[in-house]
Amino acid sequence: MDADAGPGRDASSDAPSGRGTGGVDLTSTEHGLVVAFWGVVDDVVRDRGTADLWELRAPGGTLEIDCSRVTAMDSIGLSILVRLVRDAVEDDQRVRFTRASAPVAELLATSGVRDWMLDLGVEVGP
């Protein structure tokens, strides 16, 4: 389910090729939330698919972030990720960044965001 579009829909409708071909899936678990980004994470995902991210809270729970299906992430996509991590840490959630595609792993390393997450106590996987 795409957070903004509802079940069976994604954030890619009416978007130019490449841009807007990604989204975010939210899953509640007994331990917290799983946020899985996919495709191209850009301004279209921010505008159409993240409203629920800013409202969902699981204080004391776990937030798991999965970027294994992300094909590209620009600076706006990175800002979505940074805000998500920052808000979760402020809400005393345990944050686990479980998987990253090669493009995301490279972006996190070169931007310093991976080190920033580690400094915050985020569990960062491969």
> All domains of the chain, ordered by start, with CATH?
23-124 (3.30.750.24)
3-state secondary structure of 2: strand
- Could you list the beta-strand ranges (E) of the chain: 23-29, 32-41, 62-73, 94-100, 123-124
Burial environment of residue 82 by CB neighbours within 10 A (0 to 12, 13 to 18, 19 or more): middle
Residue 51: the pLDDT is: 77
Q: Answer yes or no: are the C-beta atoms of 67 and 34 closer than 8 Å.
A: no
Residue 110: the pLDDT is: 97
Q: For residue 43, is pLDDT > 70?
A: yes
Q: For residue 104, is pLDDT > 90?
A: yes
For residue range 7-21, what is the model confidence (pLDDT) as tens digits?
A: 333 444 443 446 668
